[in-house]
């Protein structure tokens, strides 16, 4: 793109953007003559993908700002209206990131301008509360302004349909098509005008109360909590995000002592105490772990900024805290949920468990042990939400679901991963094992001993900018055109390309899976929300192999696989 074209697009953007900060942000880049930066801002429009928008905050058409929020919401509004829904309304939530409140209100005013009633949370709220609100209010759609666990320069915009799940076919493509048809910005009412017309209203505490009542009604062992809650001492961090109010409230109502990390308790879109506000990263939980050691805590819980992902750590019995991976926590949760429902006679007929294709197979073995049918879906929690709806129609009963990236859901009334209700289940689970004189680490080792040792790893490669898109596409193309015959010294048994028909009858997706003779499974896929390509490796110990030996064996095999994947370019 030459400078003349960049300047033309910049002038066009500046003529339509109404918020001074974003006009000044772009003008500064123009004044500095930073043409590389400017090309990145204008080489494309910020892509509205199947989940919505995610991008760097700033001025330009390839940035997240009021202009791109307005265009996206105009397209969404046009799609809602095209469905012929009588008196449609939409729910809107936002997190603690920079400009989230502005972007949420902007989206609400666009909906109001199109005659759709906007129900906007009056304060920042977790993503799962948006999913819950859509269903509780009977809304046609929902929006949450968040970039989840991305660095502070990012923000995002996710769209939900009337079932409370993120967009899936045919609605995803329908909304995308409408967004791409938008050529200009429509005039917006001011806030007072929208409120007086009844097309804008604010959601107060009533949704929180209904949600809290639902969580309390689904306790697996309420008698245990009533009798022994004070024994458990939790250290919690919301990582400057939205989880604090509800996590503190729910644990407090149960009588579970909860100490929130003071330096990370208040919402702050700059995330000043962490490099990345991602609880999967050990560094993000350092302050919580330090506090837990000082206070002699029984459990550490961390949630990401929009409180849909959760990570935990617990004493390992040797004086240290063990951080559990997303796969390991999913195993522990499944074990506790399935066994508790079975022991108390509450496991429903035709129970079902849903996981993604990159989540450990140990969870499948665990579900099968308890007589729970397992379903695999593509990566992304929207596919779990979609599958719950399909299971309901077929008369099957969803019990639990999750993905390796620390996202879990045990409440079918919600259709996205939920770190808040999961925090309550984790606390109950930890208390249960504590009451039996067992650590969470000890229980995980028992499961390994019974069902076999598994080890998983994620290798991500970030490739930003216009050239990065082509490079990621090139890696996928070379993998398909010249697939490996062996990997890490082990022969390849099978290669599965999800762009083609696959044995699980899943929708086409840009995913390649490689299965080796030793049952190692490697999955390669470009990220749907970040400029990354991701490599997932899952290794399994040999049958009958002692866990310690299996762990050493898998670690060696994993290093050889890492070397191959790091060289793939």
Annotated active-site residue in 96, 100, 148, 298: 148
Please give the angle made by the CA atoms of 221, 223 and 228, to the nearest 5 degrees.
100
Q: Return the number of other C-beta atoms located less than 10 Å from residue 237's C-beta.
A: 32
Whether the CB-CB separation of 448 and 547 falls below 8 Å is answered with: yes
> What region, left, alpha or beta, does residue 444 occupy, with left being phi > 0 and alpha being psi -120 to 50 degrees?
alpha
Q: Which of the 8 DSSP states describes residue 182? A: -
Q: Which of 272, 212, 263, 268 is nearest to 237 (CA)?
A: 263
Q: Give the E-state strand segments of 469-546 in sequence order.
A: 486-487, 490-497, 512-516, 521-526, 532-540
Reading the block at residue 273, the tokens are 């105490």
How far apart are alpha carbons 75 and 141 in whole angstroms? 13
The residues facing 303 across adjacent strands are 310
Q: What is the 3-state secondary structure (H, E, C) of 442-472?
A: HHHHHHHHHHCCEEEEEEEEECCHHHHHHHH
Of 78, 61, 74, 75, residue with least CA distance to 14: 61
148 given a catalytic annotation: yes
User: In this structure, what are the phi and psi dihedrals at residue 314, rounded to the nearest 5 degrees?
Assistant: -150, 155
- Strand, coil or helix: 258: strand
Q: Quote the strand ranges of 47-150, DSSP E.
A: 52-56, 89-94, 117-121, 141-145
**Phi, psi torsion values for 492, nearest 5 degrees:** -80, 130
Say how many C-beta atoms besides its own lie within 10 A of residue 431's C-beta.
24
Q: Could you give the CA distance from residue 72 to residue 107 in angstroms, rounded to a whole number?
A: 9
Residue 450, C-beta contacts closer than 8 angstroms, at least 6 positions apart? none
The residues, any chain, with a CB within 8 Å of residue 501's CB and separated by 6 or more, are none
β-pairing verdict for 486-487 and 351-356: unpaired
The residue ranges of DSSP E strands in 122-250, in sequence order, are 141-145, 154-161, 200-203, 234-237
Residue pair 94/104 in contact by the 8 Å Cβ criterion:
yes
Pairing of strands 351-356, 397-403: parallel
Catalytic residue numbers read 148
């Amino acid at each position: 793109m030459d400078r003349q074209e960049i300047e033309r697009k910049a002038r066009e953007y500046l003529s339509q953007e109404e918020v001074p900060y974003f006009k000044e942000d772009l003008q500064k880049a123009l004044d500095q003559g930073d043409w590389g930066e400017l090309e990145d801002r204008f080489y494309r429009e910020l892509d509205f993908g199947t989940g919505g928008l995610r991008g760097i905050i700033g001025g330009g058409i390839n940035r997240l700002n009021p202009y791109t929020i307005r265009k996206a919401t105009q397209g969404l509004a046009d799609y809602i209206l095209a469905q012929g829904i009588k008196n449609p309304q939409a729910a809107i939530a936002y997190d603690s990131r920079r400009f989230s409140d502005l972007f949420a209100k902007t989206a609400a005013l666009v909906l109001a301008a199109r005659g759709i009633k906007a129900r906007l949370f009056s304060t920042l709220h977790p993503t799962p509360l948006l999913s819950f609100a859509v269903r509780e209010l009977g809304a046609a759609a929902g929006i949450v302004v968040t970039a989840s666990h991305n660095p502070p320069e990012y923000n995002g915009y996710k769209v939900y349909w009337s079932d409370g799940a993120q967009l899936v076919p045919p609605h995803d493509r329908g909304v995308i098509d409408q967004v791409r048809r938008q050529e200009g910005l429509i005039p917006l009412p001011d806030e007072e005008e929208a409120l007086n017309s009844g097309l804008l209203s604010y959601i107060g505490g009533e949704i929180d109360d209904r949600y809290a009542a639902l969580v309390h009604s689904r306790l697996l062992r309420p008698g245990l909590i009533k009798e022994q809650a004070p024994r458990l001492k939790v250290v919690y961090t919301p990582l400057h995000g939205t989880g604090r109010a509800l996590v503190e409230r729910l644990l407090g109502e149960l009588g579970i002592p909860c100490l929130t990390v003071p330096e990370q308790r208040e919402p702050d879109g700059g995330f000043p105490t962490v490099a990345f506000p991602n609880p999967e990263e050990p560094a993000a939980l350092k302050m919580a772990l330090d506090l837990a050691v000082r206070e002699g805590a029984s459990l550490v819980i961390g949630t990401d900024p929009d409180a849909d992902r959760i990570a935990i750590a617990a004493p390992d019995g040797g004086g240290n805290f063990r951080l559990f991976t997303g796969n390991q926590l999913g195993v522990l949760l499944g074990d506790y949920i399935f066994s508790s429902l079975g022991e108390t006679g509450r496991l429903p007929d035709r129970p079902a468990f849903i996981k993604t294709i990159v989540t450990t197979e140990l969870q499948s073995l665990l579900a099968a042990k308890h007589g729970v049918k397992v379903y695999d879906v593509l990566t992304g929690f929207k596919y779990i939400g979609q599958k719950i709806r399909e299971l309901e129609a077929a008369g099957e009963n969803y019990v639990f679901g999750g993905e390796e990236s620390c996202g879990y859901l045990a409440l079918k009334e919600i259709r996205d991963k939920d770190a808040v209700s999961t925090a309550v289940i984790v606390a109950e689970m930890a208390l249960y094992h504590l009451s039996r004189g067992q650590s969470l680490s000890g229980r995980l080792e028992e499961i390994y001993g019974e069902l076999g040792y598994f080890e998983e790893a994620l290798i991500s490669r970030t490739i930003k900018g216009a050239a990065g898109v082509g490079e990621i596409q090139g890696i996928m193309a070379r993998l398909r055109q010249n697939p490996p015959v062996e990997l890490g010294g082990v022969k390849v048994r099978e290669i599965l390309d999800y762009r083609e028909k696959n044995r699980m009858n899943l929708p086409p997706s840009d995913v390649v899976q490689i299965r080796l003779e030793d049952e190692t499974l490697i999955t390669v896929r470009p990220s749907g929300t970040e400029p990354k390509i991701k490599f997932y490796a899952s290794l399994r110990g040999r049958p009958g192999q002692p866990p310690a030996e299996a762990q050493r064996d898998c670690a060696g095999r994993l290093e050889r696989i890492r070397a191959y994947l790091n060289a793939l370019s």
